[in-house]
């Protein structure tokens, strides 16, 4: 098991080194489409709706980048990737970026040679069990069968947690969230473990969500964020500052309702620089001055994107928690636009 994980990492690293050519921004402009790697389907984060249109919190970031670069939030080819295939898809150039519940870790940065450009969701790993199991803590899971997605940080954290607590488990390896859901509901595993946001999103699609509980333990840090290949700083800047534009827009009260009005100019210089009525930030990125305005307009600011896709008034029902703005006691903090 260990060996295959290691070999997988080396293969991807080799590919990454080969494909680390600059110029993704030019490729995307020439193609007229952004190839954005997403999940195979996690409602609220990235999944096609009944009309086949991709929707979700991560999807919104892909659309924001496409709007910034190409002027069209629909100019995106959504490429479904699993926990295992996502890194090869990025390293090989099949996708221009990943926006896919992916945890920023040392080895994915340094060894696999990817550039995490920020964090769009601060998360941690949790456990879901059927209420009927009568378990109230993850420490009571000795001997349990656990559905676990391969190629994820989840796999490694799980082993650490059980070892540290001197308890054992039997892994039931699965490739996608859909498979996990099916196996878990069929009773092939007692427990499903993944990012807590993923558990909430999965449970929301169950016929009887109330029959399942999320245990209180959060056993890891999972800073989830968009990533690109090492060695293409111009492109990394575009994705990084698009995310920062959405975060700053919330901080400064730029919303989809007032953005047209604010784009005519305000008495706040930072807002004016973001929306392009002052300064030349867009030009510095290799874009025009309305890039951020377009990015914000597609799905609204960070808070609007959160509320619409995964927030408390959606079936997924996630609280802002760590993902609140720094001004509200959270960790979201965009560097200045100047
Ligand atoms: N954040 C972890 C886990 C990511 C992950 O794959 N999560 C699952 C469950 S939330 C997922 O997104 N599945 C969607 C799919 O199967 O396509 C990582 O980066 O390794």
Q: Stretch 18-33: mean pLDDT, rounded? A: 83
| CA of 175 relative to ligand 1 center, distance in Å | 9
- Nearest-atom index, ligand 1, CA of 176: 16
Q: Of 95, 101, 316, 40, which is closest to residue 225 (Cα–Cα)? A: 101
Q: Specify the residue with its C-alpha closest to ligand 1, atom 3.
A: 152
Q: How remote is the CA of residue 73 from the centroid of ligand 1, in Å?
A: 24
The answer for 330, left when phi > 0, alpha when psi is -120 to 50, beta otherwise, is: beta
| pLDDT at 21 (0 to 100) | 54
Contact indicator for 223, 158 with CB cutoff of 8 Å? no
Question: What's the 132 CA to ligand 1 centre distance in angstroms?
Answer: 26
As a whole number, mean pLDDT of residues 116-142 equals 97
Average pLDDT, the chain: 94
Atom of ligand 1 nearest to the CA of 198: 10
Q: Provide the token pair at 310.
A: 């995964």
Mean pLDDT calculated for residue range 310-319: 98
pLDDT digits (tens, 9 = 90+) for 63-98: 999 999 999 999 999 999 999 999 999 999 999 999
In this prediction, residue 115 carries a pLDDT of 98
Q: pLDDT class for 8, splitting at 50, 70, 90? A: very low
3-state helix, strand, coil in the chain (%, to 5): 45, 15, 40
Task: Flag whether pLDDT at 11 surpasses 60.
Answer: no
Distance between Cα 289 and ligand 1 center (Å)? 35
Among 87, 126, 155, 194, name the best residue to mutate to test ligand 1's pocket (greatest count of ligand atoms within 8 A of Cβ): 194
DSSP state of 128: E
Q: To the nearest whole percent, how much of the chain has pLDDT over 70? A: 93
| Cα–ligand 1 centroid distance for 41 (angstroms) | 10
Q: Which residue has the higher pLDDT, 121 or 18?
A: 121
Q: Say whether pLDDT at 272 is over 50.
A: yes
> Does the pLDDT at position 28 exceed 70?
yes
- Count of residues for the chain? 338
Average pLDDT over residues 257-272: 97
* C-alpha–C-alpha distance, residues 9 and 28, integer Å: 27
CA 153 – ligand 1 centroid, Å: 9
Q: Whose CA is closest to atom 8 on ligand 1?
A: 177
Residues lining ligand 1, judged by CB closer than 6 Å? 39-42, 82-83, 101-103, 149, 152-154, 176-177, 194-195, 198, 222, 224
Please report the pLDDT score of residue 30 as a whole number.
97
Confidence category of residue 22, pLDDT binned at 50, 70, 90: low
* Tens of pLDDT, residues 142-199: 999 999 999 999 999 999 999 999 999 999 999 999 999 999 999 999 999 999 999 9
The whole-number pLDDT of residue 214 equals 97
Assign 18 a pLDDT band (cuts: 50, 70, 90): very low
* CA distance linking residue 271 with residue 254, whole number of Å: 8
For residue 3, the model assigns a pLDDT of 38
Taking CA atoms only, the protein residue closest to ligand 1 atom 10 is 198
Question: Please, which pLDDT band fits residue 9 given cuts at 50, 70 and 90?
Answer: very low
pLDDT confidence bin for 31, thresholds 50/70/90: very high
Q: Which two tokens stand for residue 77?
A: 């080819």
- The tokens for 210 are 């109330």
C-alpha to C-alpha distance for 149 and 22, rounded to whole angstroms: 32
- In this prediction, residues 217-227 reach a mean pLDDT of 98
Q: Whose CA is nearest to atom 16 of ligand 1?
A: 176
């Amino acid at each position: 098991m260990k060996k295959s994980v290691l070999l997988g990492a080396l293969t991807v690293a080799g590919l990454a080194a080969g494909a680390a050519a600059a110029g993704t921004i030019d490729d995307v402009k020439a193609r007229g489409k952004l190839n954005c790697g997403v999940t195979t389907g996690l409602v609220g984060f990235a999944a096609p709706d009944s009309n086949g249109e991709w929707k979700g919190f991560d999807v919104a970031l892909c659309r924001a980048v496409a709007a910034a670069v190409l002027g069209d939030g629909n100019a995106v080819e959504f490429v479904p990737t699993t926990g295992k295939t996502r890194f090869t898809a990025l390293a090989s150039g099949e996708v221009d970026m990943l926006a896919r519940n992916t945890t920023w870790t040392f080895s994915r940065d340094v060894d696999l040679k990817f550039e995490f450009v920020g964090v769009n969701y601060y998360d941690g790993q949790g456990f879901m069990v059927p209420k009927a199991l009568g378990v109230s803590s993850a420490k009571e899971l000795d001997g349990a069968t656990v559905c676990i997605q391969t190629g994820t940080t989840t796999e490694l954290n799980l082993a650490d947690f059980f070892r540290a607590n001197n308890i054992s488990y039997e892994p039931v390896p699965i490739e996608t969230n859909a498979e996990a859901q099916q196996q878990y509901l069929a009773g092939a595993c007692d427990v499903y473990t993944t990012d807590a946001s993923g558990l909430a999103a999965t449970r929301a699609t169950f016929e009887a969500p109330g029959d399942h509980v999320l245990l209180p333990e959060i056993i890891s840090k999972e800073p989830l964020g968009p990533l690109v290949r090492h060695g293409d700083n111009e492109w990394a800047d575009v994705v990084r500052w698009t995310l920062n534009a959405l975060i700053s827009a919330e901080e400064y009260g730029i919303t989809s309702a007032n953005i047209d009005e604010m784009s005519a100019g305000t008495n706040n210089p930072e807002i004016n620089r973001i929306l392009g009525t002052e300064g030349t930030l867009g030009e510095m990125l290799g874009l025009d001055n309305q890039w951020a305005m377009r990015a914000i307009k597609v799905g609204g600011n960070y808070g609007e994107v959160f509320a619409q896709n995964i927030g408390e008034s959606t079936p997924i029902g996630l609280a802002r928690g760590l993902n609140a703005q720094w001004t509200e006691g959270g960790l979201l903090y965009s560097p200045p636009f100047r």
